[in-house]
Structures are given as structure tokens and as C-alpha cells.
């Protein structure tokens, strides 16, 4: 014991655990457990502010493009990734950024929408004037709003008279099916954004997960009814609302 202990001490002395990435991660991407590993390295080789516990990184977002083998530090992560550039950088083909026109000041929540908001799209048919919240567009994340001059919400500045240029479009984070519906409604309807939630990312994700479950259920129904008429993507969305509030 008196011989082995000093040897072990010398072998482990000067090393510490650090969290590093097991894959490349784009800016704005949420860090998940499967992206991380913990390794022991020499302490003098580590950057300042290194993270030694994966739990401290999970659920946060990359502030820049990161690469496999990178050691994580506090500066490389943020609690939220709500800037438009963050979201655009994180797009990997599974989601799309799609803009819809704000018909008037009221349609865009009187200019009060913020990046990261969860909204429902209220669609008013131009011919019948009937309104609905399509099931496929019950909970959608706002990437940004943009003025007629092409200025995103992140960069809007106050005018000399104290007012702000109002937004003309809302850019949303959607899947392919939602993008197709939005394109159709853009031509045939007037779209209004109703604010559902603004706050922490964990709660916001609950609404988005409920929306994703809608499409999973829809696919299962279509498989069970392959010989019946095509299922309508624009359902009422009542089941989604129930799931998000459970």
C-alpha cells in the first residue's frame, strides 16, 4: 500500500474531467446528452471556463459552429438561441424557415411579437370570411419578424420621432407540410398570429412537441385508412391543445 499509493497519485495528479463533443454542432443547436462525452485530460491543457459536468451543457445552445472533439466552455454555450441568425445557422433540412405576410398592424400582434414566441396561426378565408386555427399550425415558433426594409426584429432601431418601423412579415420555423399549407393560405387567406406562449425554452418546447405529435398521429391515421379519402391537414387542433396543457 505504501508503495502503490504514491505511484497512483503521480499518475492521476494534474488531470481533471472535461466535457467534449462527439460530433459537429451548428450554431444555435441545442446540446443533447448523446452529443457529449466526459474524458480525463491534463489540467494545464484545458481552456478557461471549461465544463466538467455534462448536465451543465445539456439544454443549452451553441453560440458558434462547434466541432467533434471540442472541449465545452461557458462562452461556447448560451441559455437560449433566439436570434434569427442562430436559428438559420442551425437549420439541417429537418425544419424550414418560412415567411408569411402580416396583412395589417393587428395581424402581427401589433408589432409585439418576439423571437422565440410560440404562436397559433388564425386563418381567415378571403372568400367565405370564415376563420380557423389549422391543426397543423396550432403551435409554431417565431424565428423573427421583418420590416418592409428587410430589417429583422433583432436589428430594429428607434426612429428619430421615437417610433419603430413595423414588421411586414413573420418568419416561422416549420416542417415541409406546414410550409405547403402556409404557401396555400398566403394566396387564399389572411393570416393572423395569436400569441400562445413567451418564456423559458423548456415550456416552449412542450408546445412544439405537442405539434410534432399531431403529425405523428396524422401519419398513423393515414396508414390505417389508406383506402379512405385523404386526411385533412387543417383540422381543428383541439387534440394538440389538450396535449400541450396536460
Which among 197, 198, 174, 195 is positioned nearest to 186, based on CA atoms?
174
Q: Parallel, antiparallel, or unpaired for β 189-197 and 131-132?
A: unpaired
CA torsion, ordered 27, 206, 22, 86, to nearest 10 deg: 0
Alpha carbon distance 246, 238 (integer Å): 13
> CB count, 10 Å around CB of 54?
18
Give tens-digit pLDDT for 153-197. Answer: 767 667 777 667 778 899 999 999 999 999 999 999 999 999 999
What's the predicted TM-score (pTM) here?
0.66
pLDDT in tens, 47-64: 888 999 999 999 888 888
Q: Is the pLDDT of residue 246 over 60?
A: no
Q: How far apart are CA 203 and CA 26, in angstroms?
A: 23
Q: Strand 61-62 vs strand 36-42: parallel, antiparallel, or unpaired?
A: unpaired
Least confident segment among 27-36, 107-116, 192-201: 107-116
Q: Other C-beta atoms within 10 Å of 221: how many?
A: 11
Amino acid at each position: 500500500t505504501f508503495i502503490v499509493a504514491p505511484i497512483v497519485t503521480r499518475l492521476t495528479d494534474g488531470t481533471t474531467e472535461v466535457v467534449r463533443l462527439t460530433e459537429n454542432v451548428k450554431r444555435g443547436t441545442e446540446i443533447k446528452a448523446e452529443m457529449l462525452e466526459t474524458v480525463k485530460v491534463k489540467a494545464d491543457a484545458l481552456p478557461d471556463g471549461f465544463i466538467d459536468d455534462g448536465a451543465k451543457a445539456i439544454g443549452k445552445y451553441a453560440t458558434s459552429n462547434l466541432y467533434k472533439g471540442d472541449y465545452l466552455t461557458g462562452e461556447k454555450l448560451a441559455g437560449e438561441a433566439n436570434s434569427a441568425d442562430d436559428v438559420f445557422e442551425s437549420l439541417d433540412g429537418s425544419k424550414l424557415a418560412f415567411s408569411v405576410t402580416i396583412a395589417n398592424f393587428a395581424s402581427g400582434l401589433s408589432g409585439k411579437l418576439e423571437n422565440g414566441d410560440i404562436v397559433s396561426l388564425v386563418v381567415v378565408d378571403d372568400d367565405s370570411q370564415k376563420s380557423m386555427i389549422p391543426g397543423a399550425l396550432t403551435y409554431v415558433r417565431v424565428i423573427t419578424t421583418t420590416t418592409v426594409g428587410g430589417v429583422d426584429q433583432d436589428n430594429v432601431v428607434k426612429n428619430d420621432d421615437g417610433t419603430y418601423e413595423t414588421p411586414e412579415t413573420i418568419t416561422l420555423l416549420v416542417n415541409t407540410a406546414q410550409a405547403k399549407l402556409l404557401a396555400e393560405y398566403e394566396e387564399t387567406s389572411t393570416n393572423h398570429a395569436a400569441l400562445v406562449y413567451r418564456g423559458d425554452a423548456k415550456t416552449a418546447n412542450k408546445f412544439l412537441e405537442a405539434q410534432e405529435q399531431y403529425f405523428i398521429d396524422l401519419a398513423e391515421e393515414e396508414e390505417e385508412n389508406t383506402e379512405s379519402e385523404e386526411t385533412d391537414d387543417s383540422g381543428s387542433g383541439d387534440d394538440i391543445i389538450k396535449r400541450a396543457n396536460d
